[in-house]
Amino acid sequence: MENRGRLTHLFVTVFLSNFSELMVSPAIPDVTLSAVCPGKDECSPAIYLTGFQQAIAGIGSVIMMPLIGNLSDAYGRKNMMAIPLLLSIIPLVVLAWKRTLTFFYAYYAIKTFTAMVTQGGVACLALAYLADNVSEGKRISAFGVLSGVTSAAYVGGTLAARLLSTAQIFQVAAILSMVAAIYMGVFLKETTRGDDVLEQPILKVTEGDEDSCKASKKIEVIRKIPSPRDIYRLLKSSITFSLAACVTFFNSLAEAGLQSCLLYFLKARFQFKKDQFADVLLIAYIGATISNMLLMPTLGPIIGEETLLSLGLFAGFLNMFFDSIAWAPWVPYASASMGVFLFLSSPNLRSIVSKQVGPNEQGLAQGCILGMTAFANVISPLIYSPLSALFLSEDAPFHFQGFSILCVGLAWLAGFFLSIMIPLLSRNKSSNGDSVVEA
């Protein structure tokens, strides 16, 4: 019962945080275009600015996600979760105040640097917190509920963006982000894990002479900072973990490409504005809520995370394929309905990863996977932003405005083929292990 209360407070915190973050997404393209290219529907500088922001934030996240996850193993999920929650407030307050060119660039600079921590920080710590409080056999259902809560926040935030004016969107988002931080600080209880991780460190290091209490504390902090060798050792700890990391990369590559390209493509192709963007996202997130709250908990224990993962990745490819050849404004709305399956990928990946490590390594493991996501966020804009800008311009080598969207789908297709190998290689390893034991 105590764990159920803890998870309820965790879900509320995640809901409020994602609600405030996602309700501004449909408005950002309009705000960016109004500031950078006033009165235009096509704007290459806006696409490059978005891509540059994703790349810089991704580079920082590659370092910060494993660090935050590993430090949370030592100093608590709740303590570390306060950092991304508080940082997420600042850029929203800037645009809530004004949306002139000066304020937009102030927002852009602040958001670029804070996103190094906020982009995945809450998700990383929430996943580790969940793994601390849920037994291994029930994690697929719990991870599905967490993803369902996130998707419900997306639905609520997108619907709010549909109903509110641009000025009101950022004001409400800033207030909700403050409420999320306060709620977490007041109600969320620190998780407890059987062993004292400060006394039993995950990553073994050489013990040095500790002459004083201060020196001991400094050494302990340094000990909890994962080195690239530690992360590489974790990624190579099992075939399943390695394949899950590769699938995560391609899945995140596609998700980041979708984020940087789709809304600008729809604006150039069908002159979509904030309300149309919100409608498309709303359809996708309603489907995601249904799949994560219902399909994962019911089908997951029956057919397994690997099957649901492959289903989600292939649905992503089909979604992008139909969007890339969209011949009428209703096609993006229809393809968005595949969100019922598309959003199954990430939670099933997290569930698979959580079962590959022990209770005192959940933060580091989830941080490493989100670090892989951040690395994909660095690569993605370098690929998709130039492609999108080129094929939406008049200088395209051939007329296919949706070419960059199709390439996003190909990343999901690559992840799909890799995901098929996870159960096959895992079974082969188990069979080989049994053979050795029998011999």
Q: What is the mean pLDDT of residues 397-422?
A: 87
Q: How far apart are the first and last CA of the chain?
A: 46
385 closest CA partner among 46, 134, 132, 10: 46
**Annotated domain spans of the chain:** 1-192, 225-428
Task: Give the pLDDT band of residue 209 (cuts 50, 70, 90).
Answer: very low
> Are the C-beta atoms of residues 338 and 285 closer than 8 Å to each other?
no
Residues 6+ away with beta carbon under 8 Å from 301: 140, 141
- CB-side exposure of 11: number of CA atoms within 13 Å? 18
pLDDT value of position 215: 42
Q: What is the mean pLDDT of residues 166-177?
A: 88
Whether the per-residue pLDDT at 369 is higher than 60: the answer is yes
Q: What is the mean pLDDT of residues 175-185?
A: 92
CB count, 10 Å around CB of 166? 18
Whether the per-residue pLDDT at 275 is higher than 70: the answer is yes
329 closest CA partner among 265, 415, 240: 265
Q: What is the mean pLDDT of residues 116-120?
A: 82
pLDDT value of position 279: 80
> Are the C-beta atoms of residues 124 and 14 closer than 8 Å to each other?
no
pLDDT value of position 192: 63
Task: Give the pLDDT band of residue 3 (cuts 50, 70, 90).
Answer: low
**Separation of alpha carbons 157 and 169, rounded Å:** 9
Q: What is the mean pLDDT of residues 78-103?
A: 88
pLDDT value of position 42: 65
C-alpha dist (Å) from residue 31 to 251, 259, 321: 28, 16, 28
Q: What is the mean pLDDT of residues 409-416?
A: 91
Task: Name the residue with higher pLDDT: 230 or 345.
Answer: 345
Whether the per-residue pLDDT at 268 is higher than 70: the answer is yes
Q: Report the range out of 9-23, 26-40, 52-66, 131-145 with the highest average pLDDT.
A: 9-23
> Are the C-beta atoms of residues 244 and 422 closer than 8 Å to each other?
yes
Task: Give the pLDDT band of residue 104 (cuts 50, 70, 90).
Answer: confident
> Are the C-beta atoms of residues 193 and 76 closer than 8 Å to each other?
no
3-state secondary structure of 204: coil
323 closest CA partner among 406, 395, 263, 411: 406
CATH of domain 225-428: 1.20.1250.20
Q: What is the mean pLDDT of residues 138-153?
A: 78
pLDDT value of position 413: 93
Whether the per-residue pLDDT at 242 is higher than 70: the answer is yes
**Separation of alpha carbons 425 and 438, rounded Å:** 20
Q: Which CATH superfamily is domain 1-192 in?
A: MFS general substrate transporter like domains (1.20.1250.20)
pLDDT value of position 73: 77
Mean pLDDT of the chain: 77
**Separation of alpha carbons 364 and 231, rounded Å:** 8
Q: What is the mean pLDDT of residues 168-176?
A: 90
6 closest CA partner among 77, 85, 66: 77
Task: Name the residue with higher pLDDT: 13 or 203.
Answer: 13
> Are the C-beta atoms of residues 89 and 174 closer than 8 Å to each other?
yes
310-321 pLDDT tens trace? 888 998 899 889
Q: What is the mean pLDDT of residues 86-91?
A: 91
Q: Give percent of the chain above pLDDT 90.
A: 7
Task: Give the pLDDT band of residue 434 (cuts 50, 70, 90).
Answer: very low
Task: Give the pLDDT band of residue 214 (cuts 50, 70, 90).
Answer: very low
Task: Give the pLDDT band of residue 218 (cuts 50, 70, 90).
Answer: very low
Q: Do domains 1-192 and 225-428 have the same CATH topology?
A: yes
Q: What is the mean pLDDT of residues 60-69?
A: 78
Q: What is the mean pLDDT of residues 345-351?
A: 80
Q: Where are the alpha helices (DSSP H) in 138-272?
A: 139-163, 166-187, 213-223, 228-235, 239-270
Q: What is the mean pLDDT of residues 107-115?
A: 89
Task: Name the residue with higher pLDDT: 155 or 175.
Answer: 175
Whether the per-residue pLDDT at 1 is higher than 50: the answer is no
Task: Give the pLDDT band of residue 250 (cuts 50, 70, 90).
Answer: very high
